[in-house]
Structure 1
Amino acid sequence: MKFNITQPNQALKSQLEHKINHKTKPLGSLGMLEAVALQVGLIQQTLSPQLCHATMLVFAGDHGIVEAGVSPYPQAVTAQMVLNFLQGGAAINVFTKQNNMHLSVVDSGVNYKFSPSLDLIDAKVAMGTRNFLTEPAMTLAQCEQALTRAADIVDAKVAEGCNVFGFGEMGIGNTSSASCLMSVLCGLPIEECVGRGTGLDDAGLAHKTNILAQAIAHHHLISSDAMQVLATFGGFEIAMMVGAMLQAAAKQCTLLIDGFITTAALLVAAKLQPEILHYCVFTHCSDESGHKKMLDYLQVKPLLNIDLRLGEGTGAALAYPLVLASVNFLNQMASFESASVSQKI
């Protein structure tokens, strides 16, 4: 697939920095908010950026690797949680509602037939992936289909006026997919990438690590072939996040990157199109083992570190007010000149 992502034009950078630096505050005193204001201004190519129709896309899919006992929860929980999202009962519902973000839930590949009457975006590629312990999770054709369907979803949201997207996921077993993606693409031992997911005990963690090590050894993949790595170890929800992120960046939108699994999707996207990183705000550092190493690999700094490890896009939703504050201070805060305040001597 062709996603046309280029680094934002830097011609406005000095003007944006001048505007930021001449607000009524000591130089640099708003910390990371200043960096985000500069970033969003460059993304939108304006001195007065606006965040419009903020949308959280939560992609859901099931994973064949669950058959190998890598999760303490049954696969049925994926569909049950999707229904919980649609009924407004999950954490992501609370936080998106609180922060005036629109929430759209996408069936990327849940092993369940949902009623057509539900307020659910049906983009199902298949009834879950295959077990990547013994075979690729999906075909390359399915992987490309997932990217294309997700790009179409983003296009529709952009047409409605959205220019800032958060990304979330739901899928029992998807920390296993994310761990393998991270291990292969970052060239790290699987032991440094695996975490407890939804709450494995020590024995469960050891079993999960062993299974994933076997899976990686079985497929013999190299990090330079990101699409094949995604097709082999990914989930349909992860593949759709990759496509959605790529298209959102191609449309010059701001991307709010959530935790471990979402960052694994972004890692794939960055291998395919490195310039995507200019459009990403990394919202938090997850408490899931491996996430900090992934952020370090990408050489990025998250806004928050509050021990989250829920997924669903919750970290992105919680951090969105900080991104909004960055834009608002740039647009609304007085300058030394306009407020008649003396500057530093």
Structure 2
Amino acid sequence: MSPNPPLTVALVATPETSASTLYGMYDVFCSAGRDWTFITTGVPGTPAMKPYVVAATAETLRAANGVPITPDRTFADCPSPQIVCIPDLLVRPDQPIAGRYDAAVDWLQTCNNQGVTLAAACSGSLLLAEAGLLDGWDATTHWGYCEALGRRYPEITVHPSRALVVSGEGQRLITSGGGTSWQDLSLFLVARFLGQEEAMRLARVYLLDWHHHGQLPFSVLACSRQVEDKRIADCQEWIAEHYAETGPVAAMATLSGLAERSFKRRFAKATGMAPLDYVHTLRLEEAKQMLETTELAVEAVANEVGYEDASFFRRLFRRKVGMKPTDYRRRFGNVRKALQAAAI
């Protein structure tokens, strides 16, 4: 199974990199071919992958959380790897990055031309997008960055619900969603290059769990409040307390003093969402909290947040959140209970 010499994996480091993501992938790749044998027999196996950190300069840099990162190589002196992995970038979703990572962009374009597999975790997809490598292809990123990615790079088809997307010529472009979806990315790369059995071994060694439901269950559906249009801002403030009432869109239109058609147009322009979609996001976010923290039946939760038809609520919840209300409660309610019990 193990190649000889081991596969080379370059991990891109920038001052906006999260050390946990970079070194988490580093550890998983170092373990490939080595640690399963060590744990089960006491004798280390032959490493099948050789990760190293590459950056614009050889100087030690401080990661986003202050952890020092010393690159092994620079873009200028790095031989062509077989795999490149880009950890997340701690930049605001709406923050332009043009001209900020020119050395990395040039190097990524060179690697792509050489047939290297390029993988990005979380908001690291922004680097691939800035390099123009995702144009015309499918991709994903952290759920909080999907809207900005699609707006800034309209040639990309963004999939907010998916934790992993494989695309590009020869399926050489791999992007993953937010948070710990770098684990899915790492396991996928191991499975592709070393086989599924080795990926399963690493999953057992590290207790890694695949994000079967994608990243929608972890996302926050409601968008932040805007303040530029005062009439719409007043409506947002009102609906935050009255989302469960009947006819909320008509009520907001009346509150705004605008004709309903004009209100809907201004609301969508100010918030990026149709008024009814905005109401649904508020209701579903409250429903998620109730499912996590109470034992109310799903029908009662639906009624509490403004849905008389529980079956409609179930369908809407599954479409927007990515899993059934009962599955959501089982997963996240149990996590909350475990955290509460551990704190006692």
TM-score range relative to shorter protein: 0.3 to 0.5
TM-score (norm 1): 0.34
Question: Taking CA–CA contacts closer than 8 Å with sequence separation of 6 or more, which of the two structures ends up with the larger relative contact order?
Answer: 1
In our comparison, the structure showing a higher alpha carbon Rg is: 2
